[in-house]
Amino acid sequence: MSKVTPYNTSDSKKEQVADMFDNIAFRYDLLNSILSFGTHKGWRRKCVKKLQALQPKQILDVATGTGDFAIACVKLNPEKIIGIDISEGMMKFGREKLKNKALIN
């Protein structure tokens, strides 16, 4: 079985995946909308609605990307929302969204 990696370099697969997402971070939201035909928005609404009944105090959004799900969860009014991602580039765009929505300083 061969090893599948995004790039043909000596970097670890983890580093290559992070680099790949860093490289597309500036257009990730557009790509996500196009490639999912917009269904990602309905998925997010459905998940937030399901979480509403649980009234979570803390939410951990793993692979947060540019933070759309974490931002959608703000309306649940939890004490804390944490978004993590392997790609610093994606996190950078997520932080910009949070600033633009006045959710962080």
Indicate the length of the chain as a whole number: 105
The answer to whether position 53 is within a domain reads yes
Write out pLDDT tens, residues 34-70: 999 999 999 999 999 999 999 999 999 999 999 999 9
Q: Which of 68, 64, 62, 85 is nearest to 30 (CA)?
A: 68
Q: Answer yes or no: is 6 within a domain.
A: no
- Report the domain count for the chain: 1
Residue 63 within any structural domain of the chain: yes
Could you tell me the pLDDT band of residue 7, with boundaries at 50, 70 and 90? low
For residue 55 the two structure tokens come to: 């009234």
The DSSP string of 30-68 is HHHHHHTTTHHHHHHHHHHHHHHTT--SEEEEET-TTSH
Alpha-carbon distance of 15 to 8, in angstroms, equals 12
Domain membership of residue 105 (yes or no) is: no
Range of the domain at 56: 13-100
Q: Is 84 a domain residue? A: yes
Q: What pTM, to 2 d.p., does this model score?
A: 0.85
The answer as to whether 5 is a domain residue is no
